[in-house]
Each structure stands twice: as structure tokens, then as C-alpha cells.
Amino acid sequence: MAACATQTSDLPAAAAVSGLVDAAPRIAVATAYAPEMAALLPDLDNGEEHRLNGVSFWTGELSGQPVVLFKTGVSLVNATMNTQLLIDHFNIRHILVSGVAGGLDPSLSVGDVTVASSWAQYNEGAFLRETSPGQYRPHPGVEPILPAFEFMGTRAVRIARDGDPAPEPKLWFDADPGLIDIAERAATQIQLRQCDDTGLCLPGIPKVVTGGRGVTGSTFMDNARFREYLFETFEAQVVEMETAAIAMVAYANDIPYLAFRSLSDLAGGGNAAENEITAFEHLAAENAAILVHAYLKAYGDVSSSAGLAPPRPAGPAACEIHYSTMPFEPKPLGEARIRKLKAYLSAPAAREEFLKRFEVLSLQIARAMAPDWPLDGRVRINLVWGGYNGGVGQSLSMALDATTAEERAQVTRIGAGLGYVFFQQSVALECREPARGLAETSAFILEESGERDVLSPQTLKSVYGMMMAHEEDQLTRGFTYYPETDEFLVLDLTAAGARARPVMDRILLDLNRFAPEAGMSLAETRRWIRFPFNDWLTSPNGETYIETGLTGEDLALLDKLRGVYLAEIDSLPAPPLQ
């Protein structure tokens, strides 16, 4: 158990509305009441308490990740009020909910932990007029949107947020698919508790269940008939009193969320004569906390592998996939989305942060296309600059430590998946050793080791222009510039590389004349390459990528991930001013 610091800062009311209490980007972990908080707070490293309007927000680290841990208080109103208080005064990456819930689905057992895909508030409703015994009629204009339970019906709510001047009624609030994927990965690494410290044990080993739905209401729900109604009408697995409110606030602020709810009882059911929450709430809270810790560790693994690493991959057999998140043609996304993407990519202050939004999604695509290849720790995504046929722009390079020919053969599938999801006209596949379907060619690497910095993002167009000036006919080269190591890699797209060699020799001569103190040198090596291509104007369904061997099951996964990509673009705020 970690030693939790006890430093406390009581903030006056004026300070509570003046801005951020803590500017560090953090993951928020929301609990509702004492047993849920007690399952996590003792493990907080470097904890510091900040009190706002009587609510304690604890900053520190859990499982190596910077977090802010807090209790919302029980009920929809408390959860709404204090989640917005959190967002107003802390820099939140996303929100996790950890705690207990009542079970609705009879196939679930006490101690199981659910990771629902969406949440709804069931008692935002209308009570219907009884027109005769047992017969009810809704008032016009406030009709329930689902079948009512006797005289009680559920209505949707309108949530105001930026960019949505006329919000439509909304019942379900979806958890973030990328966070669900991380949770699914984390769930394979844990064993939930079957017994508590007093020796009280569950009859079976608890499990993690992802997907499905959860519902929230400001009512302690302990009624078997209403439990059956919620299960059948909402098709929900669990019920509790806070998560939908947190989800609604997260939606209004464009912040991703995910909830881990462990069953403390079967609401209004179970084998016991009385509700089992008193007996099992602590064990259930601990099981939810176990998944929180595993999730944070898995999130850290994804974040570190998606971060900026040295751009040249380690090992002689490494491969790279060069791609972008900007489609070449506007047709697949539409003009509005293209304008938004271009605005972000043209704003230097926002460009790298914008591209990082798609790093985790890129890793998800790679895992979907190579499910049997253990990619953890063997994939790095780098921000690079690239160009072809006169165009220069910032893009992404996925470096894969592919140590066998079989793994290198998977690079084509991953590249096709990236091209399909991001609507790429072409992606570039490059390996340092042979692989099935890749052709051998020459590669030239310009490096500088002197005192003067000539190669930079600002000089790329000039250097690329020199390549084009020395080209006798159609340009048949693409380049990648790695800012971390000042390497300028040129691939000759002809068979033998004979055309690129004299061009690169002349560029080296020109650069050394221009800046001899830069210490420029040129190396020639071999690469195995392929350029999967799709013209979205004539093949709007990505037919060429599909022809690389993607199956119907692959496309189902990729279409889901493409939906995440489109939602990510739509969730971007207004582009920053340049």
C-alpha cells in the first residue's frame, strides 16, 4: 500500500471560481461514497488534497498515472454538480468512474465488474394521468420515449454544449470506444477478488464484462418488478445513482469517460431475503478498483508506445508505415471536416497535439489487423515530415520491430487498415529485410553531424525543391524527415535506384557548398517497399485496400474504428487562430 500524503489546501470561494487549481493533465477517477473512495485513496502516491466548495479533490499518481481522485457524493444532482466543479478547476484528459452497482441482468453475479458501452438516466420522466384503474395517458408533448412502468415513463434530455445551438433530446451517452479497448486489454491481466479480508466469500469467481448498458436514477432501487422492467425495457445490465450524470457532464464538455461498476447486489433480487449491498459493497468496490489500477497501467503502456520515440526503429529487421490522418481527396470526409483538419495542421501551436489525437487509434488499428502478433513494446509512432510529387507535410510513422518474415508480412495488413480507416490515397510500407509482397529498392539517407542545423521542418521544401530541380523527368521519389535525428530519407521508387543516386549526390554537393559546417553525409542502403493505393473518387469503398487480403471480419473492426476517427474530428473544438 502506498503512503498517501496528507497535505491539504483549503481554497476560498473566490479562488474556487478563478481558474485551474492544478494545470497538470490528469485522468479523473470519480467515486460516489466512502467504500468506493477507500478502495483507491490508500494507493495514491504523492497525494495532495484540494478542497473546493466542501469537496475534496486528491491529486497524485495511481499505478504511475497522474490522476485526480474525488467523491461526487450520492445521486444525480451531486454527481452533476461536482463533476462540473472538477472540469472547471483541473486539466482532465478523461474521466473514469469506479464503484458499485445493482445488477439487472440475472446472468451477472455479485462481484462481477461491468464496463458498459453507454449509460442513460431512467427517471428523467413523466408521470402519466390515470384515466381509469390501471390505464394511463401521457400529456401531449411530454410523452415517454420508452414503454412506461405503470404511470412512470422516461424522457430524454437536451444537453447544451458548444457548436450545438439546437440540441436534440438525448437518452444514451456513449463511453469512449478507445478507452473500452484499453479496459478490455486490462481485464485479461487481473484476477478479481472472491473473498474479502474477513473471510466472506462469493460462491463463484467474479469476472469482467464489457459492453452492454447501464442506467442511473436518483432512487435506491430494491424492487424486483422494477428491476425486471429496467432490464427488459432499457436492455441494461446494471443500475446505480451517478454514472449517467457524469456521462452527461462529460458529453457537454467533450471529455471522454468510462465507468467500472462492480455488482454489490442483484437489485431487488438475489438469493438473500435482504439486499446484499451491506455484505458485499466493500468487496465490490475493491474489484472495481482492481480494474482501475489495471486500466491505468494499460493506458500507460499505450501512451508510452504512442509517444515520440527516436524515429529510427531499433533492430535490423524493423519496418515502418508512413501515413497521414488527412485524406488526399475531400470526398470521403466532406468539405467541412477537411477544412477543420487543414486548419489544425496549418497551426504550428496545435499541429503536434492534433496529430497525437490519432496515435492511440493507430495502435488500435494495428492490433485489429495483427491480433496474433504481440505488439506491446514493439510499436512506436513518430511525428515526421514527408513528401511526394511536390507536396510536403507533417504525418505519422509507425515503426514496428518485426523480427521475423511472418511478422513483416503482417505490415501490409496493418498498412491497409491504416489506409482504410484514415481514407488515405496511399500509405508507404518500408522494411529493412525482405517480406512477402514487398519489392527491394535503394534508400538514401542524408545526415548532418556538424555545428550548423540545415535540415529542419522550415528547410524541407527547399531541400525537396532541390531534388525536383535535379530530376530530369517525372519525380519518382518520396522522402521522410526525422526531426529527432536530423535524417532525411529518400526512397527511389524505380527498380535499381540508379536514377536517385546521381540526384542525391548533387544535393549533397549543393548542401555542403551552402553550409560546409553542417557536416552533411550521404549513406546508401536497401529497403523493401510497397505503396498500397486507393482512389476514393473511383473506389469510394476502399476496394484496393480490401484487395490486400482484408476479410469481412477485418472490415467490421475497421468500420468501427473509422467511426471513432470521424467522431474524433467532429469533437474537435473550433480550430485555433494562427
Number of helices (H), then strands (E), belonging to the chain: the values are 15, 25
- What is the Cα–Cα distance from 425 to 180, expressed in whole angstroms? 29
What pLDDT score does 29 carry? 97
C-alpha cell of residue 518: 553542417
Confidence of residue 476 (pLDDT cuts 50, 70, 90): low
- For residues 534 and 332, the model is more confident at 534
What pLDDT score does 536 carry? 83
E strand or H helix that includes residue 70: strand 65-71
Task: Say which CATH class 7-11+23-121+172-301 falls into.
Answer: alpha beta
- pLDDT surpassing 80 at residue 19: no
Residue 568: helix, strand or coil by DSSP?
helix
Condensed to tens digits (0 to 9), the pLDDT of residues 132-146 reads 887 878 777 777 777
- For residues 376 and 323, the model is more confident at 323
Condensed to tens digits (0 to 9), the pLDDT of residues 351-377 reads 666 666 777 788 889 988 988 887 767
- pLDDT surpassing 70 at residue 350: no
Amino acid at 144: P
In this structure, of 15-29, 121-135, 389-403, 561-575, the range with the lowest mean pLDDT score is 15-29
What pLDDT score does 329 carry? 61
Specify which of 165-169, 396-400, 455-459 reaches the highest per-range mean pLDDT. Answer: 396-400
Mean of the per-residue pLDDT values for the chain? Answer: 80
What pLDDT score does 363 carry? 86
The answer for residues whose C-beta is within 8 angstroms of residue 233's C-beta and 6 or more apart is 146, 147, 149
Specify which of 261-265, 315-319, 472-476, 498-502 reaches the highest per-range mean pLDDT. Answer: 261-265
What pLDDT score does 277 carry? 55
E strand or H helix that includes residue 181: helix 177-187
DSSP per residue over 233-296, as a string? HH--SEEESSHHHHHHHHHHTT--EEEEEEEEEETT-SSSSS-SHHHHHHHHHHHHHHHHHHHH
What pLDDT score does 278 carry? 63
What pLDDT score does 152 carry? 79
Confidence of residue 3 (pLDDT cuts 50, 70, 90): very low
Question: Exposure of 499 by Cβ count < 10 A (0-12 exposed, 13-18 middle, 19+ buried)?
Answer: middle
Condensed to tens digits (0 to 9), the pLDDT of residues 217-263 reads 888 877 788 888 888 888 889 999 999 999 999 998 888 999 999 99
- pLDDT surpassing 80 at residue 325: no
- HSE-CB for 192 with a 13 A CA cutoff: 32
- What is the Cα–Cα distance from 330 to 342, expressed in whole angstroms? 11
- What is the Cα–Cα distance from 539 to 72, expressed in whole angstroms? 50
- What is the Cα–Cα distance from 264 to 30, expressed in whole angstroms? 18
- pLDDT surpassing 70 at residue 475: no
What pLDDT score does 63 carry? 92
Q: What proportion of the chain, given as a percentage, has pLDDT over 70?
A: 83
Q: Identify the CA nearest to 101 among candidates 118, 117, 114.
A: 114
4 touches 41 (CB < 8 A): yes
- What is the Cα–Cα distance from 522 to 166, expressed in whole angstroms? 59
| Radius of gyration for the alpha carbons in the chain, expressed in angstroms and rounded | 28
Amino acid at 236: A
What pLDDT score does 312 carry? 34
Given CA atoms 174, 175, 178, 183 in this order, what sign does their dihedral have?
negative
pTM passes above 0.85: no
Cell 553525409, located at residue: 521
Specify which of 315-324, 325-334, 364-373 reaches the highest per-range mean pLDDT. Answer: 364-373
What pLDDT score does 272 carry? 42
Give 2's DSSP letter.
P
Helices 552-571, 405-421: axis angle to 10 degrees equals 50
C-alpha cell of residue 444: 538514401
Q: Where are the domains of the chain?
A: 7-11+23-121+172-301, 311-571
Condensed to tens digits (0 to 9), the pLDDT of residues 434-472 reads 888 888 888 888 888 777 778 887 787 778 777 777 665
